Amino acid sequence: MHYVISDIHGCYNEYIKALKKVNFNDNDTLYVLGDCIDRGYASIKVLQDMMYRPNVIPIVGNHEFIALKVLEDLCTEITEENAETKITLEIMQHYTDWMCNGGEHTIKEFRALSLSEKYDILDYLGDFSLYEEVFVNDKKYLLVHGGLEPFSSGMNVEDFSVPQLLFSRANLNKTYFQDKYTITGHTPTISEQGNQGTIIKRNNHISIDCGCVLGYNLAIYCLETDTEEYISSDFTF
C-alpha cells in the first residue's frame, strides 16, 4: 500500500500510532509531505525514525527548508576568522524566522546530538525532494507540501518556484489539474469553517494537514483505497 501523511510537527507518539493503525510494513511506502519538525517536542526523534526506514519518502516543507539553513551553521564553530561570514543579517533573520515558527524544541534536540548524528540529520534533510509524482491504480497524484499559488492554467509542476511549492496555500476551490490529484499539507483543514480535523477532498485536491500539533488529528491517507485513518492528538503546548 501507498500511504501519505503530513505535518507531523514533532508529534512522535501520534506518528508511531498512525503507522501501527495501518499495519505499516516493509512492503508499504509512506510519503511524508513535509513539516515533520518544529512546534512538537520530538522532531529529531521523528526524523531519526524516518531516516532508518527505506520505504519512507520525505518531501520538504517550509519548516525543513528554514531549519536546514540554521542547523548547518550550528555545526560550525564560530571563530575570529569566520565570524563575518557566519554571523550575518541573513543568518540571524533565518534564525529569528525559525524561532517564531516553533524551532525552539528542534534546536534543543539537535544540540543534544553527537557531531556525527548532527551531520546525519543534515544529510537526510538535504535529500528531501520538493515533490513526488505517483501512479497508483491508474490514478496520478502530485504530492507536495504547499499550495502552488498563484496557479495558472497550463502550468506544469516543474514551473513552480520553491516559495510556491513550500509556502503558498492551496486554493481548494480551484481545480489545478484535470489529469491528477494534488495532495498537500501545510494548511490545517481546521481553517475551513466547521472542520474538526478531517481530510478535505474537493476539486481534485486532497488536503491532509488535520492539525495534529494544534490538538486535533494526525491523518494517514491510503492511495489504493482512497481512505484515511485518524490519530487524535495528545499534544499540549
Q: How far apart are the first and last CA of the chain?
A: 34
Residue 76: predicted pLDDT:
62
Q: Rounded mean pLDDT of 209-234?
A: 96
Dist CA 120 CA 92 (whole Å)? 24
Dist CA 148 CA 159 (whole Å)? 10
- Which numeric CATH code is attached to 2-144+209-232? 3.60.21.10
Q: Rounded mean pLDDT of 120-133?
A: 96
Q: Rounded mean pLDDT of 131-135?
A: 97
Strands 56-58 vs 29-32: parallel, antiparallel or unpaired: parallel
DSSP state for residue 142 in the 8-state scheme: E
- Tens of pLDDT along 19-39? 999 999 999 999 999 999 999
Dist CA 55 CA 31 (whole Å)? 9
- Tens of pLDDT along 150-190? 998 888 889 999 999 999 999 999 999 999 999 999 999 99
Residue 93: predicted pLDDT:
73
Query: Bridge-partner residues for 86, per DSSP?
Result: none
Dist CA 124 CA 105 (whole Å)? 19
Residue ranges of the domains in the chain? 2-144+209-232
